[in-house]
Amino acid sequence: MSRTNRWIVVSAVLALVVVLLAPFVWTELSEGRTPPPLGLQTSAEPSPHVEEPEPGPFDVDGRWSVGPGSAAGFRATLQDAPADERTVVGSTDDVAGWVQVDAGEATAGRVEVRTATLETGSAVPDRVLRQALEADVFPTSVFTLTAPLEVEEVERSDEPVELEARGTLTILDETQPVTVALEAQRSGDGVELRGAIAVRFSDYGIALPPSGPVQVEDEGTVEMRLALTRSAA
Q: Domain of 95: which CATH number?
A: 2.40.128.110
Asked whether residue 192 is assigned to any structural domain, the reply reads yes
Give the 3-state secondary structure percentages of the chain, helix then strand then coil, rounded to 5: 20, 40, 35
Quote the number of domains for the chain: 1
Q: Could you report the per-residue pLDDT of 59-71, keeping only the tens digit for each?
A: 999 999 999 999 9
Q: What range defines the domain where residue 25 resides?
A: 3-37+57-230
Asked whether residue 43 is assigned to any structural domain, the reply reads no
Asked whether residue 51 is assigned to any structural domain, the reply reads no
Asked whether residue 194 is assigned to any structural domain, the reply reads yes
Q: Is residue 55 helix, strand or coil?
A: coil
Asked whether residue 50 is assigned to any structural domain, the reply reads no
Q: Is residue 225 helix, strand or coil?
A: strand
Q: Could you report the per-residue pLDDT of 15-36, keeping only the tens digit for each?
A: 444 444 444 443 443 344 556 6
Asked whether residue 201 is assigned to any structural domain, the reply reads yes
- pTM of model > 0.95: no
Asked whether residue 49 is assigned to any structural domain, the reply reads no
Confidence band, pLDDT 50/70/90 cuts, at residue 122: confident
| Tally of CA atoms within 13 A in the half-sphere of 1 that contains its CB | 15
